A and B are shown apart, each in its own frame.
Chain A
Amino acid sequence: MASHIQVPLPLPVVPDGWAADKDFKATGRLSAATQRGIEPVGPHFLAHARRARHKRTFSEDDR
């Protein structure tokens, strides 16, 4: 999506003693998802179907 959402409130500072390999810590996984049908309509769906059929990611698609 072209324009990015602007969050109004500032990020917190890193707490004292916080440390992580390469500054990134994975602490969880996503909750289970629901299977639903997307409507095969519109330009963005077409892009999705193209990616799905050619097994391409967003960034591959951007190029």
Chain B
Amino acid sequence: MTAESVTTTAPAERYAIGIAFGNSNSSIAVTSTDDKAEVIANEDGDRQIPSILSYVDGEEYNGQQAKQQLIRNSGNTVAHFRDFLGQDFKSIDPTHCHASAHPHENNSTVAFTIQDKEGDEKSTVTISEVATRQFRRLKQSASDFSGKQVNSAVITIPTNFSENQKSALIKSAGDAGIEVLQLIHEPIAALLAYDARQESKVSDKNVVVADLGGTRSDVAVIASRGGMYTILATAHDYEFAGAHLDKVLQDHFSKEFIKWNSIDPRENARSLAKLKLESEATKKALSIGNNASFSVESLAEGIDFSSTINRLRYETIARKVFDGFNRLVEGVVKKAGLDVLDIDEVIMSGGTSHTPKIAANFQSIFPESTAVLAPSTTPTAINPSELQARGAALQASLIQEYELEDIEQSTHPAVTTVKHLTNAIGVLSISGEEKKGIFTPIVTAETAVPARRTVHVPVPKEGGDVLIKIVEGGSHIKVTKPELKPKENGNKDDSDDSEEDSDYEPEEQREKIWRVGNVLAEAAVKGTKKGGKVEVMINVAGDLGVTVTAREVGEKGGVRGNLSAP
């Protein structure tokens, strides 16, 4: 172990990759010469590599091969362990390990007792070592793919990982010969993967990243300002995730099986394992097709079983879980002090985000102007299962040339903790009177300072001397209740929607309104030409001092003034 263990590598000797390491799956990504990130396949051809290790006669299996071992060799198969890293046994939730090796307490840490060598003897393998073995496999796959020895990585972590979990993760990776250049938050990696696309424009936007995985769902609200990211709120849920959708299908098909055979396949461990695996496969098929089959040889007591289900039926029986995702997303937007109208983009990340109905539900929560980025709603969406690894690889390529010390200095709270604006700073159009003028934000609330933004504003038709009035603005939501109209019953063609029709209510109109606050400055740009435009630039310093400059576009001169820091 010590032989391959690293402390630090010189930047020139580094070959860094991006790693997403989940409780359900891991994935690895590299950047190509043109700075595009690509998720790579392991030796089995899988880009989603189940985070599972299994041992048969001393031989180690990983990924999909290990997953298959859950049927016959569950006691020597270790699964769903990522979240145990760096935790006390008392704090872990072992729920998802019922049908695989059970975690137990071992000298204040978590361990598994498995037969991982030839012969009958069992060994106690700590969680740290399990994770190291997983990292070794990922490192090997990435090295085989690229023909270069991988020795460093950027790894994604949930936003609620503790300091202990972080250091345990760094140690486990280090023991596998992977120097961790940086740990980055999963939703930020997903956002970076989108922002790094050539067609993406740098902008100011509020983004929700919904990461719906196998055993947990994590949602974050992020203020994205000129390519800088600030997390405004997060929420985590362990009751509604991919495994719960598998369970819905398991129960559905079990009931069908019982009806024909009077045997409950959930009562036998091996039958249950088969049910689980096939339910997951059926669920994935339903993300693409309108129908999916479910078929297991010798499901219980030697009886084969096969059936089908259509998407609509699935969406009906899974509704409780889907509703859980909706509540999670709505809750975190509120927690951030925002309204759904404030959200510009919803990035759907994690395997479960492939599900069309979930994306459709999110579309109905948010206004039409909000882009929901999922495979079923946006043709150009990035594969939600690949976002985190891609983001990690992009970050790795950005920082791999720096000394570790420089990276640590830059990520230090002294550099990352900065002032964020509470209100937007904007300019008034039409009228200089606060009550009548129309506010347009130039720098939006929650922008980290220092910041600099520029807008172009037209002058009145005839040109002349124009007033640039710079004010603070706060947004609020104006709700207008429409008058009740008699219910329309004409539309009968879509019987699927009958449930939604029955609780139809006239929709209230909700809109975002700006309220002008503090008046900051007035400036005049004189003698502007007919059809001209004025460029207004706001520069906010780290101490909240403001510099305003305004000049006619294409002309020299203009005005410039300062506001001192509050």
Contacts and interface: CB of A to CB of B under 8 A. Distances in A.
Interface in A43-63: 43-46, 48-49, 51-53, 57-58
Nearest to A42: B192
B169 to A, nearest CB: 17
B487 to A, nearest CB: 38
A11 B457 contact: yes
A46 to B, nearest CB: 6
Contact of A33 (B227, B431, B535, B544): B544
Contacts, number: 230
A22 B182 CA distance: 50
A10 B201 CA distance: 25
B97 interface: no
Contacts of B464: 13-14
B248 interface: no
A46 B398 contact: yes
Nearest to B563: A26
Interface residues of A, number: 49
A47 B548 CA distance: 23
Interface in B427-482: 427-432, 437-438, 440, 442, 446, 448-450, 452-461, 464-469, 472
A29 B202 CA distance: 28
- Main secondary structure on chain B at its contact with chain A? strand
A27 B522 contact: yes
Contact of B415 (A5, A11, A53): A53
Contacts of B226: 1, 44
Q: Which 6 A-B pairs have the closest CB atoms?
A: A44-B227, A24-B561, A9-B429, A33-B419, A40-B411, A49-B410
Interface of B: 182, 184-185, 188-189, 192, 195, 201-203, 226-231, 391, 394-395, 398-399, 409-411, 413, 415-423, 425, 427-432, 437-438, 440, 442, 446, 448-450, 452-461, 464-469, 472, 517-526, 534-535, 539-541, 544, 546, 548, 559-566
16 contacts: A1-B453, A4-B454, A9-B458, A12-B428, A12-B460, A12-B469, A13-B464, A14-B526, A30-B518, A31-B518, A35-B417, A35-B418, A38-B416, A38-B418, A41-B189, A43-B227
